[in-house]
Amino acid sequence: MPLRPTQGLRRLYVHDLEMMADIGVYPEEKGVLQPIAVSVDLLVMETEPGADDLAAVVCYATLADEIRSLVTGTRVNLVETLADRIARLCLADGRVRTARVRVEKRAVMPDARAVGVEIERSAP
């Protein structure tokens, strides 16, 4: 279920950002890159409603680049840990009020398209 923006907020999203990650707790997963997909849905404060200027918005291309850098620059055991780190990265921009993050491992179970976790975090 998508986050629903209220007045003064907009919903920004990046869905199914595919990349390879060094993730997993089992010995056969360690040091082996696995396909994952990351989706984020953000509720973002509108700083200048109607402004037609990239500086006035949270840029989804920059966000995607930051997520890629985080994923490829670290090794984690759990999808839960990675989802939390991505949520913290999103909330570091003070305009982001809520971050919903989904991390899916795409090649873990032969009879499932994906397994993973979805979390939601809000700014204090």
Give kind and range of the element (H or E) at residue 83.
helix 79-91
Question: What would the pLDDT profile of 44-80 be if each residue is shown by its tens digit?
Answer: 988 766 677 777 788 999 999 999 999 998 899 999 9
Does residue 30 have an active-site annotation? no
- This prediction has a pTM of 0.90
Question: What would the pLDDT profile of 9-44 be if each residue is shown by its tens digit?
Answer: 889 999 999 999 999 999 999 999 999 999 999 999
Domain presence at residue 27: yes
Domain presence at residue 73: yes
| Nearest Cα to Cα of residue 42 among 74, 67, 77, 20 | 67
**Structural domain count, the chain:** 1
Domain presence at residue 65: yes
CA–CA distance, 47 with 54 (Å, rounded to integer): 12
Residue-number span of the structural domain to which 51 is assigned: 9-122
Domain presence at residue 28: yes
- Check 95, 100, 102, 105 and give the catalytic one: 105
Question: What would the pLDDT profile of 80-115 be if each residue is shown by its tens digit?
Answer: 999 999 999 999 999 999 999 999 999 988 999 999
CB contact set of 63 (below 8 Å; sequence gap of 6+): 12, 14, 40, 42, 90
